[in-house]
Amino acid sequence: MNERRHFHVLVVEDEIAVRLVIGRFVQAALKGQVKVSLADGLVEAGRLDLKDVDLIICDMTLGYNENGFDLLRHMRAAGIETPFMLMTGYSPERVAENMRPGEKFSNFNLIYKPLKSIADFREKLEAALALTALS
């Protein structure tokens, strides 16, 4: 990864404590070379220009019957191919229940909580941000 580039990462999570912790993990993993924006759901995330975001980290289950897949579907339908990391503590079967039959997404990674380690998280962030650097 280009060590001199600063990235903009959006964290979408309805639980404030988790949102703040993930934001701090991103800062630590990328050694401060990042701007982190925080949103509590789809409406707040929608207020940002998602084309200016390098990576979105979103919880699968948000408040107000919202779902991370909804944000991802909206972005892809609008032609926004920003790398997207969906975080969940649910089983793979529960994740599959939230997908439509045959649904596949580009620039998409699934991360299970709890995170294994900051090093593992950093590796996933760098891989996702490498896609941004190439585009």
Does residue 24 form part of some domain? Answer: yes
pLDDT band at residue 133 under the 50/70/90 scheme: low
Residue 29 pLDDT > 90: no
Does residue 2 form part of some domain? Answer: no
DSSP classification of residue 51: G
Element (H, E) at 134: helix 118-134
* Domain carrying residue 32: 7-134
CATH number, domain containing residue 56: 3.40.50.2300
How many structural domains are present in the chain?
Answer: 1
Model pLDDT for residues 73-114, shown as the tens digit of each residue = 988 888 888 899 999 999 889 888 888 888 888 888 888 888
pTM of the model: 0.85
